[in-house]
Structure 1
């Protein structure tokens, strides 16, 4: 059950990378589009490698790096969308950490 649900979530996350890549490309944000597409490809490759069942340290380390990368991508996209929506001003936040 863990692998079925986890796999579904990972595939949804990969799909979200490509959805955002297309969204950013349509709005003319090529750098964000490339970053999103690259994140999706890298995470797919890492997930496919770990799902193959190989217990190689390089594969495991690569998957850990991909998980960290995808969390950074997720946080960056979230921050960008919050900035676009103007929610910072609505919540009384300055937009700085």
Structure 2
């Protein structure tokens, strides 16, 4: 009978590297430290959930922006804030014709 043994480098890749890189990318999308969160998520993969549900520190172009009404962070493409339902405009609100 042939036994299939996973090489050590493959086990290292699956168990440490993949969660570490995924955690780093999630952290970078939330304006947080890529390397610190990569190490943390590589050693303790449960931190992937922590960074996923954590709010960003500041606006991240193309990812998150602040609601102009309540100040909560919302996804960049959202048309209205999910917290206060205020409409969001891609740039400054359109000037009214006078």
Which TM-score tier does this pair reach, normalised by the shorter chain? Answer: 0.3 to 0.5
Structure having the higher Rg: 2
**TM-score, normalization by structure 1:** 0.34
Higher relative contact order (CA 8 A, sep 6+): 1
More helix by share: 1
More strand by share: 2
**TM-score, normalization by structure 2:** 0.34
